[in-house]
């Protein structure tokens, strides 16, 4: 990966389509997310995503979500293999539900050892666990031992939004304050709080300013909706730990950048957010 040729590193994208199976249908949940974000998600394979990001001169972190609610269309192993084949722009993360117990811990070790994944993605509301629940700690121990980052969805989610009963998704699991315990117990494991954490933005900022290994990615929201306090902290106290993320495919990275350019972000801070902070965190 030639960082000099890249304008940005998108730390938050989802792989929704396998390159090994012919299946162009979105799941019911994915269709609902498209309606919620008012954007028709592009249903691309990892190689197709890589082509798009090359044109944008961006690198991207890519993962699936290991959810008990619906079967994954693409495996952690496929994502890793395809990302490594497109390593000029693609960076593979894995996702394992803490409910998988010892089998999940073994899978995490194998994904780190054999597939060289570069981090792990958790979605507490979808995976139905509080981040500080001790059932997840054996997984964190594996991640921390490998000195890899753990990325957690925080705040409200587009998954299940505006569907009957929210699709059974419970927002309470994704309060970022639960990650303060995790940051205290795993001080050497980098933690990324994904998204502006509505309605807990100040909790997220509090955890990130208190725990030096905690980062915030700006994915999942159009920047025009960012609360002023988030912009203020991004410009000042947290300028070294704020990360660009789009949440592709539900938000287009080009459109996100277009909106971000309208915010009053200092030029030197903009460079940190768009690329330099992520390059340092991911040891690129």
What is the residue extent of each domain of the chain? 3-281
Map residue 227 onto helix, strand or coil.
coil
Q: Looking at residues 242-251, what average pLDDT do you find?
A: 95
The residue among 184, 186, 93 whose CA lies nearest residue 145 is 186
Nearest-angstrom CA–CA distance, 244 and 56: 14
* 3-state DSSP helix/strand/coil % of the chain, to nearest 5: 45, 10, 40
pLDDT at 17: 84
Is residue 36's pLDDT more than 70?
Answer: no
| 227 vs 35, higher pLDDT | 227
Digit-coded pLDDT (tens) for 54-112: 999 999 999 999 987 666 679 999 999 999 999 999 999 999 999 999 999 999 999 99
Digit-coded pLDDT (tens) for 154-194: 998 867 667 777 777 889 999 999 999 999 999 999 999 99
The pTM of the full predicted model, rounded to 2 decimals, is 0.91
* CATH number for the domain running over 3-281: 3.20.20.140
Q: Residue 191: what are its φ and ψ, rounded to 5°?
A: -125, 130
Q: Looking at residues 220-228, what average pLDDT do you find?
A: 95
**Tokens 């890899």 identify what position?**
148
* List of residues 6+ apart from 261 with CB closer than 8 A: none
């Amino acid at each position: 990966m030639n960082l000099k040729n890249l304008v940005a590193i998108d730390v938050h994208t989802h792989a929704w389509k396998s390159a090994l199976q012919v299946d162009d249908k979105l799941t019911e949940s994915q269709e609902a997310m498209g309606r919620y974000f008012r954007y028709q998600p592009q249903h691309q394979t990892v190689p197709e995503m890589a082509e798009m990001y090359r044109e944008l001169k961006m690198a991207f972190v890519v993962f699936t979500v290991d959810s008990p609610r619906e079967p994954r269309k693409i495996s952690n192993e496929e994502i890793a293999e395809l990302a490594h084949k497109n390593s000029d722009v693609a960076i593979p993360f894995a996702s394992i539900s803490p409910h998988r117990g010892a089998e999940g811990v073994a899978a995490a070790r194998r994904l780190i050892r054999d597939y060289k994944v570069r981090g792990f993605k958790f979605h507490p509301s979808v995976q139905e666990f509080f981040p500080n629940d001790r059932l997840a700690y054996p997984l964190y121990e594996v991640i921390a031992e490998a000195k890899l980052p753990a990325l957690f969805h925080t705040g409200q989610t587009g998954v299940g939004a505006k569907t009957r009963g929210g699709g059974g998704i419970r927002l309470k699991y994704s309060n970022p304050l639960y990650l303060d315990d995790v940051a205290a117990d795993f001080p050497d494991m980098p933690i990324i709080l994904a998204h502006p954490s509505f309605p807990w933005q100040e909790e997220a900022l509090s955890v990130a300013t208190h725990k030096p290994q905690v980062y915030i990615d700006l994915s999942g929201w159009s920047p025009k909706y960012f609360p002023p306090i988030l912009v203020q902290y991004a410009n000042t106290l947290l300028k070294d730990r704020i990360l660009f993320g789009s949440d592709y495919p539900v938000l287009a990275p080009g459109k996100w950048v277009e909106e971000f350019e309208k915010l009053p972000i200092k030029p030197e801070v903009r460079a940190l957010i768009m690329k330099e902070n992520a390059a340092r965190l991911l040891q690129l």
